[in-house]
Structure 1
Amino acid sequence: MNLSLQDPFAVAKEFPETLTHTLSAGGHSVIIQFNYKGDYLASGLSDGSIVVYDLASNGGVVAHLQKDGHIRAVTSLCWSRCGRYLLSSSQDWSCKLWDLSRANSPDRQVSAVIRSVRFDGPIWSAVLHPSNPFQFTASLYEDNPVYVDTTDEDKVVITTLQTQPFEANEGENSTERRTPDTEPETKKKKTEKHMTLVTTFEPRQGKYIFTGTSKGWLNIISSETLQTVHSVKIANSNIKNLVISSNGRKLAINSSDRVIRQINLPDFVNDSNTPELWEFEVEHKYQDVVNRLQWNSVAFNHNAEFLVASTFGQSSQDLYVWETSLGSLVKILEGSNEELIDVKWNYSRCMIGSTGLDSGCVYLWSVQFPQKWSALAPDFVEIEENIEYDEKEDEFDIVDDEILVQKRLEQEEDLVVDITTMEKFDARGFDIEESFVIPVKYE
């Protein structure tokens, strides 16, 4: 009796549901990041080293970056689009750019760190420019964010970014009548310092830098002029996460008021409007009104149709998945026995990864497709129970092989196969890009 196997193409699953892997090699993981192609997973550890897993080989360790690395816990990781470079920031006040072609070099004198920048304080996070892996932004603790250009190895250019939003329209053009009692409060409000907690680039061309402040302001800075071009107040509390979808259409803002806000972004590439005319209206708000959960981290899937978030607190150990078009909760991913911190979405493999707070393990949720035996033979039929088979009259007649070959050639005569032109998209619709392959030491 054959089992009725589900066809993976009959019901398209666009988000994972099952916990399939638990990775714990190297040490206590605190931060993770998938590369653009989805073949590698970088895990930053609490001791400052970085472990790179090869997802194509079922999670085997392909590199362990620790020579000339960080001496304290890693705070952020960011891959270059080509997959060769990896940027890391740490609590040791430094950012390092790793060249993974040197990760497993037989020469022990060769270091994988090709750029290292040290700041005057701790670093919240650092993000690489989408087009240039030698430029990045870093948000510093109790200091202004910076834009760093390390193209020239001997001369590192560090530019301080503006943190104060545009607040000129609040007081100068206002017709509201002021009193002596309210005037000092207005001046005090203007002099309050906005600390930038998180920065990120517009993902397609990197024309703009998005920054979130401790007062709930979203500032947009031009990456060419490094001047603020637009400011809007989103919340009344700290902005912890800024996540832009890979297609650049949606923005998710995670703040300390237990609300995740989803915003539709303008087309920065083709939009001819001036930045002053941009509108950032909140499309959906995601929150747990019953338990009032705080959210640790958020991530979009490849086309921004789904949003996943990890929850704060020992009592909650799940991941929440929402549908962004309606703003409704569609799935709660279970399986871990501890609080989950960082969460990332692997676009190519439809996989969600997260780190555990207590154990430091990396949990991976994937889509499991049962085997479809009918794909092996076109005439194979799957049945749910035993049935009586009726033999055809000519089923076992001896037929000349030449006749069968001739019939097959006649059927394939009109089929034209192009073996020279390379496809631009794979079967799932993703761009086919050449990605760097980390060399492996087989000894």
Structure 2
Amino acid sequence: MNEALISPFIINHPTAVQTSLYSYRAQLSRFDPSGRFVGVGTFDGTAYIYDMDTKAAVRTLDGHVKNITSLDWSRHSRYVLTSSKDWNVIVWDLSLTCDPPQRFATIRLDAPVSSASFHPRNSQIVLALTSTGEVYLQDLRPSYRERFELCEPQEEGEDEEHSRRAAMTVARFDPSGKHIFIGTSSGHILVFNTRTRVMVGRHKVSGAGGMKGFEFAKSGRRLLTNSSDRTLRQFNLPTYPRPGEGILETELEPTHRFNDPITKTAWNAMSYSPDGEWLAGGSADPASHKIYIWDISNDGQFTTALDGGRDSLLHLHWHPSKSSIVSTALHGNIFIWHSPNPERWGAFAGGFEEVDENVEYEEKEDEFDVEDEEEILKRKMKAEEEDVDVDSLEDDAHQNVQLISQNDEDDHWADQEPDEDATSWKMKIVIMEGGDTLP
């Protein structure tokens, strides 16, 4: 049966394992933006690209000598980024016909790399975090060719002896790429403007302890944090000032807290569904492979826990457009979870709803009443007589114009010298067992 005919309008949460892949010593796995491929990073420094149509590895990326710590995709999946404890970040071009693919770029840092990611609008801009607590913004575009370290500014009157800041433990672009969010070991969230590298926000999260991970909803207005107190917190983000207009210093209050009330387990990973209505949290329990699901649209209520056996979970990632999750187990298994929904043919009849049993319909008293035209006219006339606060509207319009101007400027900077990551590129598919290639 055509998969598109199975509840195509609603993204539910996965409930069962659809299939499993095996990649020796896999450490993490991540869907590409199209959802067709899964990138896998291993402990031995090799990355693999799996095709979800065939469930087979189609490319091998062999360039690191130590374990891979993160993997990221460009927006159209042409480029793959891998970071490693061997102090290197490698960018791979999957459009190249040679096998194995050649390195498109290599970034050498001064310490083991904890994580790295592409800018959402340009894969030539890379954000990297080292294990020693430094964050670097690397620009590979020919006109820039620079590396900039993001540092928390020193306060006035503070001498160098007392100016040591807490180590930076997590760094992420927001979905728009306009801001960089950095978490510290002291429980602070620092926000930098990507274009100017100027800090525009500093937030304290009470009781959180050191920051371990960030995750953004697709809209970019919600931030989820994973911290050392074994609690996931969701925040609604404020609007940040323009560079040069000061630093927004506030204490963020979470809208929701998510934890395991029974075992008090920590979390290894978390991921939002594409519509932001569901949240998956990967447990750090060493004796089980557990994924907890919360319903964000229903005030963050706990929904279910998915059990993948006794092989502990290392990483998980939600499919970019479907009810599917990929999770990585300690001993190499990669589970693809899905939602086996029954076929709902009634969903395709416009204006009708399919029900499981006969129900009696009760007509409302005013359901088919036609409103008197005179009443409509009176309501419109009354609305026209209301006073309009012209001053407030002008202030709001001025702020909106400033915000649009800033966004345009940030977008223009990121789009200068764009990469070649277009939707028209094609990847050479390699069948790993036989060595034959497919166009």
TM-score (norm 1): 0.72
What is the CA-CA distance between 1:191 and the residue it aligns to? 3.7
Structure 2 Cα separation of the partners of residues 309 and 10 of structure 1: 24
Structure 1 Cα separation of the partners of residues 110 and 212 of structure 2: 22
* Residues 1:18 and 1:218: Cα distance change in structure 2 (over 3 Å): same
What is the CA-CA distance between 1:347 and the residue it aligns to? 2.1
Structure 2 Cα separation of the partners of residues 370 and 341 of structure 1: 31
SS in 1 for 2:95: helix
Aligned 1:326-345 pairs, distance under 5 A: 326-345=299-318
Structure 2 Cα separation of the partners of residues 268 and 355 of structure 1: 36
Structure 2 Cα separation of the partners of residues 188 and 290 of structure 1: 45
Other-structure match for 2:427: 438
Other-structure match for 1:159: 148
What is the CA-CA distance between 1:281 and the residue it aligns to? 2.8
Of 179, 183, 186, the residue aligned with 1:208 is: 179
- Residues 19, 334 of structure 1: 8 Å contact kept: no
Other-structure match for 2:84: 90
What is the CA-CA distance between 1:260 and the residue it aligns to? 0.6
Of 326, 330, 333, the residue aligned with 1:353 is: 326
Q: Which runs of 5+ in 2 are unaligned?
A: 348-355, 357-421, 431-435
Other-structure match for 2:127: 137
Residues 203-235 of structure 1 deviation map (CA, whole Å, 9 limit, x = unaligned): 12x111000111111000011111111101114
> Does 1:100 pair with 2:90?
no
* Residues 1:439 and 1:264: Cα distance change in structure 2 (over 3 Å): same
* Residues 1:144 and 1:372: Cα distance change in structure 2 (over 3 Å): closer
Matched residue type, 1:91? K
What is the CA-CA distance between 1:369 and the residue it aligns to? 3.4
Other-structure match for 2:199: 228
- Residues 288, 309 of structure 2: 8 Å contact kept: no
* Residues 1:355 and 1:18: Cα distance change in structure 2 (over 3 Å): same
Other-structure match for 1:128: 118
Structure 2 Cα separation of the partners of residues 305 and 58 of structure 1: 30
Structure 1 Cα separation of the partners of residues 332 and 162 of structure 2: 42
* Residues 1:269 and 1:29: Cα distance change in structure 2 (over 3 Å): farther
Greater radius of gyration (CA): 1
Structure 2 Cα separation of the partners of residues 157 and 318 of structure 1: 42
Structure 1 Cα separation of the partners of residues 8 and 42 of structure 2: 40
> What fraction of aligned residue pairs are identical, expressed as a percent?
28
> Does 1:250 pair with 2:222?
yes
SS in 1 for 2:59: strand
Aligned 1:43-442 pairs, distance under 5 A: 43-55=40-52, 57-66=53-62, 69-102=63-96, 104-105=97-98, 111-152=101-142, 156-163=145-152, 191-204=163-176, 206-234=177-205, 235-266=207-238, 276=248, 280-325=252-297, 326-357=299-330, 359-370=331-342, 434=423, 436-441=425-430, 442=436
Q: How many residues align?
A: 356
Residues 282-314 of structure 1 deviation map (CA, whole Å, 9 limit, x = unaligned): 111111222111111111111211111111122
Q: List structure 1 runs of 4+ shifted beyond 3 angstroms.
A: 7-13, 186-192, 266-270, 277-280, 369-375, 433-437
TM-score (norm 2): 0.73
Residues 12-44 of structure 1 deviation map (CA, whole Å, 9 limit, x = unaligned): 45111111111114x211011211111111001
- Residues 328, 334 of structure 2: 8 Å contact kept: yes
- Residues 79, 87 of structure 1: 8 Å contact kept: yes
- Residues 144, 163 of structure 1: 8 Å contact kept: no
Structure 2 Cα separation of the partners of residues 60 and 221 of structure 1: 40
Of 29, 35, 45, the residue aligned with 2:26 is: 29
Residues 31-67 of structure 1 deviation map (CA, whole Å, 9 limit, x = unaligned): 1121111111100111111110111x1422221111x
